[in-house]
């Protein structure tokens, strides 16, 4: 089934690429920071039409609301355009993220890094790949030499879960921090050894599902801020190359 995820993520990436740089009808979701364009919706329609046609018994959990049969044996978890703010402002960092779960466990994940033309893919117990080439997390164990990445939720101004304080502590302890604006790409760059670690609060299942598997299959850890196991509904996500994981937990301990 991984080939189905790859095929449809490529088609969705093409659709998004064709729309990029054009004028968009932008709507607000929860507030003025949280945008949705017609491209998010068109990408979701393309992906979910494909699933409904080819796998009519499968369930769907998708960001823009095309949910069906969420208790089915197989569940597709879809972010049709991750990085909408970047997309709407003309910044070429956005992706398509598709995870496939079987009985509650993620068995496959694909993220299309649209503007770099890279398809990241992973299957349970079979490693992670970038355009078919095996990828691994970084080998750095020194937090002071780490490049980290984070993101902020759309209610950031309310400082949910002390997001600002955590950001400041990591600024002091790591080499540098980036904020790319696509959580799915953040996971891919941990999986491929670019970033040593990534943390964020208030992500959603479609941000987490494929990326978590990609990082784990590349040799990394994905937990909550206490090092405990998470699922796609968890709100505190810490992911790393394993080697700096405990050090990142220690930084967050007193926040």
Calpha distance 234→238 (Å, rounded): 11
- The mark string for 164-193 relative to ligand IPD (x by CB under 6 A, - otherwise) is -----------------xxx----------
Q: Shortest Cβ distance from residue 205 to Ca ion (Å)?
A: 10
Told to check if 82 binds Ca ion by CB under 5 A, we report yes
84 vs 234, beta carbon nearer ligand IPD: 84
Told to check if 79 binds ligand IPD by CB under 6 A, we report yes
Answer for the pair 247, 143: CB distance below 8 angstroms, yes or no: yes
Told to check if 19 binds ligand IPD by CB under 6 A, we report no
- The mark string for 35-74 relative to ligand IPD (x by CB under 6 A, - otherwise) is ----------------------------------------
Calpha distance 1→100 (Å, rounded): 9
DSSP assignments along 101-164, one per residue? EETTEEEEEEEEEGGGTEEEEEETTS-EEETTEEE-------GGG-EEEE---TTGGG-GGGHH
113 vs 200, beta carbon nearer ligand IPD: 200
* Strand 133-135 versus strand 221-223 pairing type: unpaired
Residue 83's binding partner among Ca ion, ligand IPD, none (Cβ under 5 to 8 angstroms by kind) is ligand IPD
């Amino acid at each position: 089934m991984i080939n189905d995820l790859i095929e449809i993520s490529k088609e969705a990436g093409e659709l998004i690429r064709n729309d990029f740089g054009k004028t968009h009808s932008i709507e607000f979701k929860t507030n003025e920071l949280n945008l949705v364009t017609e491209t998010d919706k068109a990408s979701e329609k393309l992906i979910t039409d494909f699933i409904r046609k080819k796998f009519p018994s499968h369930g769907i959990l998708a960001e823009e609301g095309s949910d069906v049969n969420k208790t089915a044996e197989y569940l597709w978890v879809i972010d049709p355009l991750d990085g909408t703010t970047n997309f709407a402002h003309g910044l070429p960092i956005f992706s398509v993220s598709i995870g496939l779960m079987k009985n509650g466990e993620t068995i496959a994940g694909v993220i299309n890094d649209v503007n770099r033309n890279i398809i990241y893919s992973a299957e349970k117990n079979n490693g992670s790949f970038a355009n078919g080439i095996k990828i691994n997390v970084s080998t750095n164990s020194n937090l002071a030499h780490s490049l980290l990445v984070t993101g902020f939720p759309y209610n950031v101004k309310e400082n949910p879960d002390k997001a600002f304080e955590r950001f400041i502590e990591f600024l002091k302890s790591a080499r540098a921090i980036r904020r790319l604006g696509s959580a799915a790409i953040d996971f891919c760059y941990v999986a491929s050894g670019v970033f040593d670690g990534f943390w964020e609060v208030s992500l959603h299942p479609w941000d987490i599902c494929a990326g978590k598997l990609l990082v784990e299959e590349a040799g990394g850890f994905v937990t909550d801020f206490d090092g405990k196991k998470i699922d796609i509904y968890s709100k505190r996500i810490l992911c790393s190359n394993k080697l700096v994981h405990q050090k990142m937990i220690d930084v967050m301990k007193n926040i």
